[in-house]
């Protein structure tokens, strides 16, 4: 029996954009699914809109507007890295539209938490980096060390600085913890400063989660797209 076609809606990571998921579109199509990969205000092809007021709320609203104007329903919501902050907010406010929530090596905030609350060691270095630049944006973190050179060139040419307010904003959940089925994909090729292990531990041990591991580094959409597609299709199916 053929798999039921799903609409995957992406909440991408920091410094990135929908463009970074280019390898996933043909794989999604081959599997009979659709990937909608918008870019947040101030990043990627919308970098010209960058300004100091952009925060987590801006990016949540970006995705809510995609849902509204594209009339998306029965959504499998993907949150990658920083996108876990965005996806949690979107799932809270579009509960009737989101049927599944999948975090890919992502932050999983609780009500009232900011990204900096979940990555305290990164807070001061990132604030300093923003202060020494244009005052409101953090220059990109380097991609994972196992990224092939051609992909590195492609990524580094397109990644742009990230508004620091996005990491400072405390997420407000109107309805408590998301109620739809949630899955966590932990990428096992961890850097020395593994900030995502805490969420692997939490989601492995907390009721209401399905937990998966991927033999990949932090951006499997770039370095391990087939393996990522396999696990996404398994979860969504």
Closest CA to 89 of 53, 55, 64, 118: 64
Q: Any idea what the Cα angle at residue 49 is, between residues 110 and 118, rounded to 5°?
A: 20
Question: Is it the case that residue 169 has pLDDT exceeding 60?
Answer: yes
Specify the number of domains making up the chain.
1
Percentage above 90 pLDDT, the chain: 95
Catalytic residue of the set 5, 16, 81, 114 = 81
State whether the Cα torsion 178-34-54-122 is positive or negative: positive
pLDDT in tens, 1-54: 456 899 999 999 999 999 999 999 999 999 999 999 999 999 999 999 999 999
Mean pLDDT of the chain: 96
Rounded Cα gap, residues 105 and 194, in angstroms: 10
- pLDDT value of residue 3: 63
- pLDDT value of residue 221: 98
The answer to the question of residue 1 being in a domain is no
Rounded alpha-carbon distances, angstroms, from residue 42 to 9, 46, 52, 58, 94: 19, 5, 10, 10, 23
Question: Is it the case that residue 171 has pLDDT exceeding 80?
Answer: yes
Question: Is it the case that residue 205 has pLDDT exceeding 50?
Answer: yes
pTM for this model (two decimals): 0.97
Q: 192 falls in which pLDDT band (50, 70, 90)?
A: low
- The answer to whether residue 81 is catalytic is yes
Residue 133: give the domain boundaries: 7-236
CATH of the domain at 118: 3.40.50.1820
pLDDT in tens, 60-96: 999 999 999 999 999 999 999 999 999 999 999 999 9
The answer to the question of residue 62 being in a domain is yes
State whether the Cα torsion 138-142-143-148 is positive or negative: positive
What number is the average pLDDT over the span 155-166?
98
Question: Is it the case that residue 194 has pLDDT exceeding 90?
Answer: no
The answer to the question of residue 2 being in a domain is no
The answer to the question of residue 215 being in a domain is yes
- pLDDT value of residue 1: 42
């Amino acid at each position: 029996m053929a798999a039921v076609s799903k609409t995957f809606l992406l909440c991408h990571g920091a410094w990135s954009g929908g463009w970074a998921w280019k390898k996933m579109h043909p794989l999604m199509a081959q599997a009979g699914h659709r990937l909608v990969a918008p870019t947040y205000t101030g990043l990627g092809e919308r970098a010209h809109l960058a300004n100091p007021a952009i925060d987590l709320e801006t990016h949540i609203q970006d995705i809510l507007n995609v849902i509204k104007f594209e009339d998306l329903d029965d959504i499998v919501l993907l949150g990658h890295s920083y996108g876990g902050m965005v996806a949690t907010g979107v799932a809270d406010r579009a509960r009737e539209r989101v049927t599944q929530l999948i975090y890919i090596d992502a932050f999983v905030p609780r009500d009232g938490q900011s990204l900096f609350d979940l990555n305290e060691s990164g807070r001061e270095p990132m604030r300093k980096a923003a202060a020494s630049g244009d005052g409101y944006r953090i220059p990109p973190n380097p991609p994972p060390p196992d990224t092939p050179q051609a992909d590195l060139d492609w990524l580094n040419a397109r990644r742009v600085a990230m508004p620091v307010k996005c990491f400072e904003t405390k997420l407000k959940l109107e309805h408590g913890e998301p109620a739809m089925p949630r899955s966590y994909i932990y990428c096992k090729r961890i850097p020395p400063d593994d900030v995502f292990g805490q969420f692997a531990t939490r989601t492995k041990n907390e009721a209401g989660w399905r937990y998966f591991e991927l033999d990949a580094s932090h951006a499997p959409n770039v370095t391990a797209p087939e393996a990522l597609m396999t696990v996404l299709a398994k979860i969504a199916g």
